[in-house]
Each structure stands twice: as structure tokens, then as C-alpha cells.
Structure 1
Amino acid sequence: MAFTQQEIKTGFKAIFSNFGFVLLWLGQLTSQLADRIFVYVLMIVVYQSTHSNLGVSLPLLAFGIPSVLVAPWAGVLVDRFNRKGILITADIIRGLLILLIVPIISKSLLWIFLVSLLIYTAAQFFAPAETSSIPELVEKHNLIIANSLFMITWMASSIFGLGLGAPIVNFFAEKKTLAISAFLYFVSAGAIFLIPLKPQEPAKKKTHVLKDFLMGFEFVRRNQVVRYALLKLFVAASAIAALSLLAISYASQILGIGEKNFGYLIIVVGAGMLLGMLTLEKLRHYFKMSSMVIMSFLLSGAVLIGLAHTGDLRVALFLIFLLGVGNIYITSTIQTILQRKIPRPIRGRVFGVQNMLVNSAFTLPVLFFGFLADLGGILFSISILGWLVLLTGFAGIFLPKFRTV
């Protein structure tokens, strides 16, 4: 569905004059920035301690493991308890746990990993509670605009949060940067505390938690388009996760700009994603969504293979910029397909399954590509990743089932 420029202006004016929505949006923005800055510091600390690509996978595993084990259950529980309370509690717990890491940051990687597991376990409850709260604060006709703003903010804060990590760590050092991250979580909790969000009414008919949990998986199993869309999202997320792991070594060993400056590469990815967002709406009028997904996989795969064959900083920055463009085309288009195919009554549970699958990309794929990088070198690992993405694009051309997405 396309909106006219006037409709979009009216929609944005309406949601930004909505005090409750603005507070929720600020809560999302600050908590997302806090999370990405925290991840950046962890990756730097672990790399300096281990000088191993496999070692850098530890922070990503700390994120990925709770995402796989807890995320689907969290989506079910969020529907049963006070969402505002869940949001505030998740923020405060994460802020306090980050402060707990500060005194041990240079002493024990094991304790850092265990505390990080707890931090990302709390995070699994924040995301579904936040998404479920949007329809309670925004008028129905403005929902699509509100959701678009949240998606753009999520992507931008994810990219630029990692990008900001470089100058913040260079200026304040690791411990003070962690304190800044904790402070941002507390700011998020304060903003959400002020939201006039009423507790949801208890369901008239109680269903078993396990039944609700399994319903999302059953829908994915039965719906071919949704199933293959999620598979493609998993490949795209695996590529992002693997690159997050390999970026430090690539910046340090291949480009020679130093390990602490890999965040600047992330900023270039963000600039590419921004261009992608600005051009996506126009391109969708000329290409089918399925064709855009296929072309974007082919572009991204070719770019990754190109990165594996260059050490020139300017060429690498250009290719990384194109990678950001391709990424936004893939994720935004597939997300739109999913929103159209999933019935409203079960979206929460199906998107819970999506979160689990996408976040699982931060576990085994990260370990695999970290192992490849330590075994055959950083460029070899990126090359294999590029061929995987490229083959996903070719599968969309030659396999009818893949072509439908």
C-alpha cells in the first residue's frame, strides 16, 4: 500500500503529537543505542584479550543464546502480564548488570560472558512488550507509519550505535563507555515510566502457554511463503552477524585502520542503508518484491566476494556502502511480505518465531565463520560468506519455491 506525501506528513504529525508514543519511541531509541554501545565495548575487550575471531564470537553468543531459548516464550508471557512493568524492569535490570561488569571488565571473560547472558535474557522481554504496546498508543490508521518509524529507528540506532562506539571508546575508554550505556538504559526506563499505558485486560478464555507457543511454529510450517521468507531472513541475518564478528579483524589486519576503528565501517553500512530506505519506495513501483529480494541477494553476495579480494580502503568503503543498500532492500522487502501474509491475530507469536530464527544467526553461523577465519584467514571466511549469499540469490532464480518470496 502506497501513501501520498500528504498522508505521510499528516501521519507523522499525528504520532509525534502523541505524548505516549513519543516516550515509547525515545525509550526504544535510547535502549537500542545502549545495547549497541555495550556490544561494541564487549567485542573490543574480548578481541584485545584473545586476539581471536572465534573469541569475538563470545559477545555475539551471549546475545544469540537467550534469543533462541527465551524469545518465543517471552512473546507469550508479554501477553499475560503488565507490559509497561516489563519494559521498565527489563531496562533497569540491563543497566544494573552493565554496571556490574565495569569492575571485572579486565579480569574475567567468563564472568563477563555470564553477566552478558543475563543482560540479553532481559532484552528478550523488552522487544515484544514494546511492539505490542504500539497499537495501544497509536490510532489504527497511523499504525503503519508508527511501525515504519520504529523499524527505521531500530536499524539506524543499531548501525550508528556501533558506529558511535569507536569515538566514545577512544575518548572515554571502556569503563566509562559502559557507564554511559547503563545510563542510557535508565533514561529509557524513565521515559517509559511516564507513558500513560493502561494494563491490558486479562483474556476471557485462558489457554495453555505451550499451546500459544506452538501455534506460531505451526503457522510457519504450513505457510510456504512465510517459511521461505524466514529462511532468507536467516541467511541475511547470518551474513550480518558474521560480518559483525569479522569487522574488527578486517579493519585491523586488511585495511590497517586499527581494531578500535572498525565502528567507522559500520557507519558506512548505515549510510548505505539510509540510501536504500530513500530509494526503496520508488524502486518497488518498477520491480516485484520477489525480484528485488533476488537482485539484492545477488548484489550483496558479489559485494562480499569483492571485499574478500581487496585491501584498498576506498574500494572497501564503497563496497561496504553497497552492502548497506542491499541489506535494507532484503530485510525491508521480506518484512513487508511477512506482514501481508501473517493474519493479525497470530502476528505476535509468528514474529516471536521470526525473532528466534533471526537471532539464532548469532550462534552457530558466528562460531562457524569465526572458526573459518582463524583456520583459513579473514578474507577466506568473507569469501565463503559471499558465496553463500550469492547462492541464495541464484536459488531465487532457479527454484520456484524460493522465487515466490
Structure 2
Amino acid sequence: MDEFKKEDGFKKFLIIWLGELISNIGSGMTAFGLGVYVWQLTHSAVDVSMVEMAALLPAILLCPAAGVLADRFDRRLLMLLGDIVSSFGLIALLLLMNKGHIHVWQICLCVGFSSAFVSLLDPAYKATITDLLTEKDYAKASGMMSIASSSKFLISPIIGGLILAIYGMELILIIDILTFVVTVVAIFSVRKSLAVKSQIKKEMNFFKDLKEGWLIILKAKGVLLLIVLVSALMFYMGFIQVLSKPMILSITSEKTTGILQTVVACGMMVSSIIIGTGILKRNYVNVMGASFIASGITMAGFGATTSMTVIIISGFLFFASLPYATTCIDVLIRKSIDNDKQGRAWGLISLISQLGFVIAYVLAGILADYVFNPALVEGGVLADTVGKIIGTGETRGIGFLLILAGLGLVITALIVFKSKVIRKMETPKEAESRLEAIQSLQSKSFLSKDI
């Protein structure tokens, strides 16, 4: 298996990665387009957050079950199934839009259905990458995966904004559906030519497997704490995920919003390319903590003003800092859990870590519409205090929320720096075993002298 990985693994990874890149561009266009579409339809941050929630929640809740399936069945087959069936939700949404008079709950239903089957992809995809690569390629592959993920923010918004302004949401959905075809072909070509590791055949028991996945996480030192910190990161990021579009759309057009999101997302692409060269090889904890701090400061800067120049610079630096954190987290977890158990582990990891997103999506729209935005309009309770600093207006409350979220990220970074358990995750297993052996011998020596 190691010999196979060295010779062909990275080539197979590139094929899957290219398919995911194309799929992410299509999905990013739909996500951007729906955010603008719903805001223009209702001018409600709550409605925007409801659609975002519908896209996120099913995938999160089903990820543990998908992780169990990824350890038991052909992971590439699960990826194929997830891509094909998830497209049905987009087709239904397209048909409803063509009929006219679509409601937000219908959008949520279609998006939720698609999201439910996308949940099959994530654990299988991540576990397959570990199947294909040697440990020395993990950081490089993670950087390339960040490039694929960043395409949602880098390429999709500018294309989606132009299409939305000229043709409408329907064409975006058609393009997204077509990208699934390309992705399926890429995955199928790898599945046909790549030998699949045989799985141990035994009776299916989801609850038992989920319990095993939980025990795997508990046994891997530092992983659980790292997941909790990631959940905190997702919580603060959820606010900018939901609220950035309404904030920007209140001061500019959808076309300009798409261009702006593309420009700031160039930061993620630049960092992902740098990481993809293999530059990150050590000091993962320090790099992760520093990236948390940078993300927090720049998120606060993003919300602090209506100046497009400051928003662009802050947004660029915010996205530039994220790949360093995600790559370090990815590498530390992969090094701590055996490959044959990673499907179950990644499913639960996705569930726990993204709970922060769920909470943020629930709170963001409510806090924006009913608390902070009313407080920062003329005559609002914060207009004469906070408003004197960041200004007042329709969505300045959103800006204040992003400032508070940025401060929360900085506090999370301080926890990362002080955690001895997380720092031990960087220690190679061989060195850790030797250290434990030395400590054991020293303990025995001390006891013998004492006696």
C-alpha cells in the first residue's frame, strides 16, 4: 500500500481534487446567488440565515452516520451517490423558480435535501485522501484542498454576481447542476482504476460504530479539545458567513458585492498556494494560534466601517489567515488517528466542530434584525456610544456583531497557545514513546532509591 501511495496516490488525489474544485465553484455560485436572491426578496437577515441553516444543518447531523458508512463501504461510491442525489434538490429548486412565487420555506426544503446527501461526501472524501497519500504529503494536500474550498469565495462570487445581474438565479442553478456531471466523471475514473481497500465484513451497527468513533477521538490525545476550539472558531466565523452579504448589499449592488467577495477571497487562494508548496512542516500549534489572532483582528476590521477600501483589505487578510489554521488542524488530527478509523472519526469531528456554525446561524439573523441593527440606527440605544465610532445605519449593527466575533477569535487563540495537550499533538509518536519510557525508568529509579 505504501508503494502504491508513493507512485500513484498523488495523481489519483489530483483527479479527485479537480472534480471537487469544479463542484465547489458551482456550489459557491448557488450559495452566493441564493444569499442575494433571498435578501432582495425579503430584506431579512433572519430569512438569509434560515437558508444558510438549511444548507448546513442536515450535512452536520448526518455526518457521523456518513463517517460510519465511509469506514464500511467503498468511499468513492459514497462520493458518487452524494453528488448525484444532491443534484435532485437543485433540480426541484429550479423547477419551483420557473413556476414563480417561490417562498423561503420552499428554498430551505430544496437546499436541505441537497445538503443531506452532500453529507455523504465529506467523511468519505477526507478519509480517501488519507488512503491515497503518505504522511509527508498531508500538509501539501491540505493546502490544495483549501484552494478547492476557496474557489467558493474566489471564483464563484464574481461569476455568480455577473450571472445574477444579467440572467438571474435560474442560470446559476443550471450551471451548478452541470458541475455535478464533471465531478461524477472524475470520481468514477478514479474508482475504476484504483484498488479499494477491503473492508472487514461484519454486522452493521451504527450506534456501536458511532460509539467506537467517539472512543477513537477520546483516545487520541488532544483531539477532543482541538475539536471544541474548532467549534468556537466556526461559531465566530458563522456570523461573517451569514451577515457579510446583507451588510455589503446595503451599501452596494449585487454585481459589486460579487466582485468584492472575489477580491477579498484572493487572500485564501494566495495562502493556500503557499501552503500547497509544502512550506508548513512544523510548529503547527503556533501557526494555528497566530492565524486565529489574525482572523479575529481582520474580522473586527471588516465590520468596523463602511469604507470599501478598509472592507476589502480586512477581508483579504481575513481569508488569507484561514488556510493556515485549517491546515494545522487537519494535519494534527490526521497524525493522531489511525487511517482505518478516520471515517468514523471525521464524521463525529464534523458534527462537533460545526455545531458552532449551527448556533451562529440561529443567533446571527435574530441578533442582527431584532437587537443590534435597531440599536445602531438614528435614535437607537447604541447610536450615541458605539455609533459614534463605527457609524449608524441600516446594517451597522451587523458590523458591531462582527467586531465582537473577531474579539472572540482572539480569545480562542489565547486558549490554543496555553494548551499543553494540544502542543503534545505535535510530538512525533516515536519521540513521545521514548519520552514515556524515560519517564517510566526515572520513576522506577526514584522509587528504588526511596526504598
TM over 0.5: yes
Deviations 1:46-93 (A, max 9, x none): 212221112111222112211232111011123333444433332222
Partner of 1:50: 42
For 1:24, the equivalent position in structure 2 comes to: 16
Q: How does 1:2-401 map to 2 (within 5 A)?
A: 18=11, 21-105=13-97, 106-134=101-129, 138=132, 140=134, 144=138, 147-148=141-142, 150-163=144-157, 164-195=159-190, 196=192, 197=194, 201-206=198-203, 208-253=205-250, 256-278=251-273, 288-374=283-369, 375-376=371-372, 377-397=397-417
Q: Distance in 1 between matches of 2:46 and 2:55?
A: 15
User: Alpha-carbon deviation of 1:202?
Assistant: 4.6
Distance 1:175 1:282, change over 3 A: closer
Q: How far apart are residue 372 of structure 1 and its match?
A: 2.0
Deviations 1:285-325 (A, max 9, x none): 7x832222222222222222222322211122111111112
CA distance in 1, matches of 2:130, 2:409: 35
Q: What SS does structure 1 have at the residue aligned with 2:119? A: helix
Deviates more, 1:308-317 or 1:26-35: 26-35
Q: For the residues of structure 1 that align with 2:110 and 2:134, how far apart are their CA atoms?
A: 40
Which residue matches 2:429? none
Give the Å deviation of 1:14: 5.8
Cα shift readout 1:5-33 (whole Å, capped 9, x = no counterpart): xxxxxx8x9667x4x55543332222222
Larger Rg: 2
The TM-score with structure 2 as length reference comes to: 0.77
Q: Which amino acid aligns with 1:388?
A: G
* C-alpha distance in structure 1 between counterparts of 2:313 and 2:227, whole Å: 29
Aligned to 1:7: none
Bigger Cα displacement from structure 2, 80-89 vs 242-251: 80-89
SS at match of 1:184: helix
Change (3 A) 1:290 1:364: same
Shift of 1:214: 1.5
Distance 2:421 2:75 in 1: 38
Q: What is the CA–CA distance in structure 1 between the aligned matches of 2:263 and 2:14, rounded to whole Å?
A: 28
| Alpha-carbon distance in 2 for matches of 1:393, 1:76 | 32
Q: Could you say if the C-alpha distance between residues 244 and 335 of structure 1 is closer, same or farther in structure 2, counting changes exceeding 3 Å?
A: same
C-alpha RMSD of the superposition: 3.0
Deviation at 1:404, TM superposition (A): 5.9
Unaligned ranges ≥5, structure 2: 1-5, 373-396, 426-451
**Percent of aligned pairs with the same amino acid:** 23
How many residues align? The count is 389
SS of residue matched to 1:321: helix
Q: 1:57/1:161 Cα in 2 relative to 1: closer, same or farther (>3 Å)? A: farther
Q: Deviations over 1:179-203 (max 9, x none)?
A: 1111111222233333315565452
Q: Distance in 1 between matches of 2:312 and 2:416?
A: 28
Map Cα deviations across residues 162-213 of structure 1 (whole Å, 9 max, x no partner): 4232223223311111111111112222333333155654524446322211
Aligned partners of 2:418, 2:138: CA distance in 1, in Å? 34
Shift of 1:283: 7.5
Q: Which residue of 1 aligns with 2:394?
A: none
1:115–1:166: structure 2 CA closer, same or farther, 3 Å change rule?
same
Distance 1:259 1:363 in 2: 26
Evaluate the alpha carbon distance shift between residue 68 and residue 156 of structure 1 in structure 2; reply closer, same or farther with a 3 A threshold: closer
Q: Report if the CA contact (8 A) 1:304-1:386 is conserved.
A: yes
In structure 2, how many angstroms separate the alpha carbons of the residues matched to 1:283 and 1:134? Answer: 19
1:225–1:265 Cα change, 3 Å: farther
CA-CA distance at 1:226 after TM superposition: 0.9
Cα distance in 1 for partners of 2:160, 2:45 equals 19
Flag structure 1 segments of 5+ consecutive residues without an equivalent.
Answer: 1-10
> Amino acid of the residue matched to residue 246 of structure 1?
L
Separation (CA, whole Å) in 2 of partners of 1:226 and 1:239: 20
Q: Which one is further off, 375-384 or 256-265?
A: 256-265
How many Å apart are 1:124 and its aligned residue? 0.7
CA–CA separation in structure 2 for the residues paired with 1:28 and 1:398: 36
Contact 1:37–1:181 (8 Å) recurs in 2: yes
CA distance in structure 2 between the aligned counterparts of 1:244 and 1:152, rounded to whole angstroms: 17
Partner SS state of residue 311, structure 1: coil
